[in-house]
Amino acid sequence: MAEINLSISGRKAQSLNLVQKLGAIIGLVAIGIILITWGGLTFKNNVLWLSLLLSCIFIGAIVYTIGTYKGKTAGIKNDGVFHRSHTSRGVVGWAAGIVFTAFYIFLYWYPEYLGYASGVEGTNQGLVALFDPLSMFFKGKPASQWFVYGTLYTAIIISLGIKFIVKYRNNRYQVTRTIVVIVSQLFLAYLIPEILAGMNYNDAVDASGQYLGWYDTDIKNVWPLDYDFFYNWHMDAMQAPAYQPLGMTYLVWGIFLFAIGTPIITYYVGKRWYCSWVCGCGGLAETAGDSYRQLSSKKLSAWKFERWIINLVLVFVSIMTLATLYGYFMNTNSLFGLDIYAYFQKPYGFIIGAAFSGVIGVGFYPILGNRVWCRFGCPMAGYMGLIQRFKSRFRITTNGGQCISCGNCSTYCEQGIDVRAYAQKGQNIVRSSCVGCGVCSSVCPRGVLKLENGPEEGRFGNEGPIVLGNDGFKLDQ
């Protein structure tokens, strides 16, 4: 497989070494288990096969990482990125994109085809059933498609996060932030919520069998990314007596984080504290999506589109949420005669919550790059972006006149920022979309870029057309 050059770009692809092949085969076993159970096969011994699946994900990634980086010095590892089919929109890339996309379509709209409650009396089959033992372990009930998703998501962030750390081990910014993102995903997004559910602090039934509701117990999942925070059922669940004092704590925390925490932290360090340090979507983009960061469009036209669309989503989520709150406090289902669910919540959930963030956002990684959602769609990114652009101490400083316009920074900016356009003019990069991943700074061969927080004064760097190094004249303009 690896020897055949499937790349559209037509250059010689480097073939995988033995250890990489072994890692890839182990990874393929994991994918195989997912595909055949997705295809409908239900295993008898789910404990065994689930253990095998998860082990294959971790071991496959680790073996592949060893094969890729063992014996190599620490440094930038982008050799062959545009020669390989799967990282340069070759046939393999397209195939991966199609599989990812299909997975999301099934996940959101046809979970029964993943096996969710598709068996007799609503028991799980296939892929979802495979995860029943783990779900039983955490909370004593069978898995949902979301539990499957959350588990796979976490396993992928951890395993490919380890690969990322090894790949960027020369850069302590990258290592530090990736450890944080792994820990956030594992504990805040996965373990703590599952354990709380297991302790009946969430997603529980009372003694009479009455369902008490579900609310989001990932403390970093904040409105407007968590767009259903103010939905009636969510607000009710947080206030359910059985969940106290935890439910109310989450309610207060959610509002605090959105209204006070986020602007303050973003003012001091930029939106990166969220997007590339703790966020789950960002976590997946940075780990699983790292191989695709070079595929984001750097065109000016893409930037223009981005500014429209992301702010429109922000407006959309705000209107939708205002309608929701109106309904909640006025105890009504409609606003100006429009049904709040049908006209506000449902379209948002479908178009933005599912289609944009999941199907396009992750499914299209190998085609459009790993941050499509974060760049064009995420309302949280839009909100923090406004703060970052207009009222923040964060900037990427350009080191005087040292830029040689090589283009590595722009190429590897997952957000499609033409970093070079600023750097070669000696200007700093102050852009609402920058998620502070720091990769531009890592890949710059001349040490030109530094992410830093400092006084707002002088934040934009060089103002004149003349770049540092020319003492001949000053332009008086």
Partner 1 sequence: MDKIVIIGNGISGVTAARHIRKNSDQPILIISAETEHFFSRTALMYIYMGHMRFKDTKPYEDWFWEKNNIDLLFDFVQNIDVENKMLQMKSGAPVLYDKLILATGSKPNMFGWPGQELNGVQGLYSYQDLEKLEENTKITKEAVVVGGGLIGVELAEMLISRGINVTFLVREAQFWGNVLPEQEANLISDHLREHHVDLRLNEELDEIIDDGNGQVKQVKTKSGEYIDCQIVGLTVGVSPNIDFIRDSGVEVDRGVLVNEYLETNVQDIYAVGDCVQFKQAPAGRKAIEQVWYTGRIMGETVAQTILGKRTAYHPGPWFNSAKFFDIEYQTYGWVRPQFAANESDFFWKHPNGKMCIHVVWDNSTDEFIGINTFGIRLRHELFDQWLKNKASIQLVMSELKTANFDPEFYHHYEEDIVAKFNAHTGMSVAIKPKKWWQKLMTN
Q: Is 281 one of the binding residues for ligand SF4 (CB under 6 A)?
A: no
x/- mask, partner 1, residues 344-383, rule CB under 8 A, reads ----------------------------------------
Q: Is 279 one of the binding residues for ligand SF4 (CB under 6 A)?
A: no
Given a contact cutoff of 8 angstroms between Cβ atoms, the answer to whether 38 and 114 are in contact is yes
- Tell me if residue 278 falls in helix, strand or coil: coil
DSSP state of 186: I
With CB cut-offs between 5 and 8 Å by kind, which of ligand SF4, partner 1, none does residue 435 bind?
A: ligand SF4
With CB cut-offs between 5 and 8 Å by kind, which of ligand SF4, partner 1, none does residue 419 bind?
A: ligand SF4
Given a contact cutoff of 8 angstroms between Cβ atoms, the answer to whether 365 and 289 are in contact is yes
Using CB under 6 A as the binding criterion, the count of chain residues that bind ligand SF4 stands at 28
The minimum distance between CB 444 and partner 1, in angstroms, equals: 9
Q: Count other C-beta atoms under 10 Å from residue 437's C-beta.
A: 29
In sequence order, the β-bridge partners of residue 450 are: 397
In sequence order, the β-bridge partners of residue 461 are: 427
Joined tokens for residue 268: 């001091």
Of 111-119, 144-152, 343-351, 461-469, the window that binds partner 1 (rule: CB under 8 A) is 461-469
Which is closer to ligand SF4, CB of 165 or CB of 423? 423
Which is closer to ligand SF4, CB of 362 or CB of 449? 449
Q: Which of residues 143-202 bind partner 1 (CB under 8 A)?
A: 170-173, 175-176
For the residues of 195-258, what is the DSSP string, one character each? HHHHTTSSS-B-TTS-B-------TT--TTTSTTTTSHHHHHHHH-GGGTTHHHHHHHHHHHII
Of 46-54, 142-150, 230-238, 297-305, the window that binds partner 1 (rule: CB under 8 A) is 297-305
Given a contact cutoff of 8 angstroms between Cβ atoms, the answer to whether 422 and 382 are in contact is no
Of 156-164, 248-256, 358-366, 453-461, the window that binds partner 1 (rule: CB under 8 A) is 453-461
Q: Is 244 one of the binding residues for partner 1 (CB under 8 A)?
A: no
Q: Count other C-beta atoms under 10 Å from residue 328's C-beta.
A: 16
Q: Is 170 one of the binding residues for ligand SF4 (CB under 6 A)?
A: no
| Binding residue (CB under 6 A) for ligand SF4 from 108, 277, 435, 461 | 435
With CB cut-offs between 5 and 8 Å by kind, which of partner 1, ligand SF4, none does residue 73 bind?
A: partner 1
Measured between alpha carbons, how far is residue 48 from residues 30, 54, 128 in Å? 13, 10, 15
The minimum distance between CB 442 and ligand SF4, in angstroms, equals: 8
The minimum distance between CB 95 and partner 1, in angstroms, equals: 20
x/- mask, ligand SF4, residues 404-423, rule CB under 6 A, reads xxxxxx---xxx-x-xx--x
Question: What's the half-sphere exposure (Cβ side, CA atoms, 13 Å) at 61?
Answer: 22
With CB cut-offs between 5 and 8 Å by kind, which of ligand SF4, partner 1, none does residue 101 bind?
A: none
Measured between alpha carbons, how far is residue 183 from residues 179, 188, 227, 439 in Å? 6, 8, 24, 20
Which residue ranges make up the site for ligand SF4 (CB under 6 A)?
396, 403-409, 413-415, 417, 419-420, 423, 429, 434-440, 444, 446, 448-449, 451
